[in-house]
Structure 1
């Protein structure tokens, strides 16, 4: 049975990964929220259907060790005028390393009331995109990367596909069978 639905809220998150000519890497996340009805905000007036409630960009620049070297935040559309005051806080991510468990440290340095919920929510997806960006590039353009211990330790037992004893493990790292 098909039930009629009325669209009320749309959140689009788009993430792109880049290799830079200075040998650094970049992941950029764009978050956009719209509503399916017009509504009014004290700080912005009427937000029409399709206009952005949130339109924010968070960019992480990192090196081969996944250490964050730079952070850029753009808050084009926010519901309140003071939301953009959270943008400078994200510079505190500089020096952190994207790795297992890094979100605990990221949330600690960002603080709850000094950061933006929406930007912080993008961080796990940006971390995954960072790994996919670097790993995909190295697998395709750096000989022997797939067989190396760095690659193995990065993805081993992180999901069903890369579990010990699975097809990927047996194909990529037959010597690692347990």
Structure 2
């Protein structure tokens, strides 16, 4: 049975990864919220259907070690006039390394009342995109990258696909699987 639904809220997040000419990498996330009905805000007036309630961009620039070298936060559309005051706080992420547990450090660096909930919510998918940006590129264009033990240890047992004995491990590290089965 189909139930009629009325769209009330849409959130779109688009994340892209880039290789830069200066040897660094970037991931850029754009978050856009719209409503399915018109409404008014004290600081902005009438927001029509499809107009952005939130439209913001967060860009992380990082090196091969996943250390953040620069951050750009831009809040193009927000519900309140002072929301964009949180943009500079994201520079506090510079120097952090994207790795297991990094979000705890990021949240401390950003603070709750000095940052933006929506920008901060983009950090985990930006981190995933950072890993996929570098690893995807290196797996395809650097022949010895996949065979490295550091790469294997980084992804080992992080999901079903990279579990010990799984298909990815068999294809990417067959020599390790043979050594482990002999041990």
Shorter-chain TM-score above 0.5: yes
The answer on 1:51 being equivalent to 2:54 is no
The answer on 1:18 being equivalent to 2:2 is no
Distance 2:90 2:67 in 1: 14
Query: What TM-score, normalized by structure 2, do the two folds share?
Result: 0.95
Distance 2:175 2:139 in 1: 19
Query: What TM-score, normalized by structure 1, do the two folds share?
Result: 0.98
Which position in structure 2 is the counterpart of 1:141? Answer: 141
Which blocks of at least 5 consecutive residues in structure 2 are unaligned?
A: none
Which position in structure 1 is the counterpart of 2:67? Answer: 67
Cα displacement string for residues 27-83 of structure 1 (whole angstroms, at most 9, x for unaligned residues): 000000000000111100110000000000000000000000000011100000010
Which position in structure 2 is the counterpart of 1:153? Answer: 153
Which blocks of at least 5 consecutive residues in structure 1 are unaligned?
A: none
Q: Tell me which stretches of 4 or more aligned residues in structure 1 moved more than 6 Å.
A: none
RMSD: 0.8
Distance 1:40 1:141 in 2: 51
